[in-house]
Structure 1
Amino acid sequence: MTTLRTLLLLVILLGLVPVVGASAGQVASVCFEPGGACEDVIVHEITGARRQVLVQAFSFTSRPIGSALVAAWRRGVDVRLIVDGEQYAQHGAEAQWCARQGVTVAIDAPPGRYAHAHDKVMIIDGTRVITGSYNPTAHASDVNVENLVVLDGADVASQYVKHFSERARVSQPIAPTDRVQTSR
């Protein structure tokens, strides 16, 4: 155990693992499912957005979160969503609905490059990051054991914005013809 502690201390001292602190971002809140109402936390954060909401989701089927994203877009917030291709093909109704409403939606993980786009991130106004194991799905709220953390801080948010931008560059936007009708 002492060897493990020494190795961990060495890794931190060498700067190989970033330590979240005041300059990187502070934990604003945490949430756990079942029973933590993480979906409500996310909807609240999206509702408070004033300029931008960037979303990377492996799976996206939550109607309340989809509705909050569209409502934000309708009030002039720049809303962009990147989803995993395989999950979109199997369970893409909510992302398709968002796209039909005008939200920019793209598919990540070009075939043959990566197995999945497994990010679960929302960046609010370039200052707040929502991340964790929680996918914006009904299963995440009702069936799975999940965690969610909300981080405050432009420094940490800028790192996530950079990653989002890198993924957006290689993602395929959903064309208007791909925005098939689905029932809500």
Structure 2
Amino acid sequence: MDAHEKLEKSRKRITESIAQNIHLYGLPPSAGRQFGMMFFENRPLTLDDMSAELGMSKTSMSTSIRTLSEAKLVERVWERGVRKDLYEAKDDWYQIFIDMFTVKWRRAVSLHTAAIRKSLNELKDLKRDEGISTELLAEVDSDIEKLEYIREYYNWLDRLIDAFEDQKIFDIVPRNDDMSE
């Protein structure tokens, strides 16, 4: 095996690893392969370039690039004299993780806290109902206690998301831990 073949084998191994793990970002393996291939390119690529490299249809590449772009894993770039859209993989994996983590979890926190707020209001109204039985009142109190607990959890999670967005997380878990391999 010559040096070029070894290089390609190494890249293919990493690209397949990305494809197998990209589901953690909610993306299909084909998007992982596309991102992996783009990561090793030292130039922006057109959909035609990607299609030729991966042997996939241009339509498939277009769908995948849109998904990767929405996930903030790739970005469209401009190059003088080139009429076709060009894309390149973002190379700051820390920021990629932060973007994905914060977008997904911020949405989840928002949905959950809205549901909790609405349910707590309904339960508190129910407690004021004079015709409520003692047994049902005990269940309502128990549910309120549980909802207060998960509201505390989502407040904590919101602060954790802030720590990622503000990059204060790196004060706790540094990017480089000075531990050599």
Superposed pair shares fold, TM > 0.5: no
Q: TM-score normalised to the size of structure 1?
A: 0.24
Q: Which has the higher contact order (CA 8 A, sep 6+)?
A: 1
TM-score, structure 2 as length reference: 0.24
| Higher fraction of strand | 1
Task: Decide which structure has greater helix share.
Answer: 2
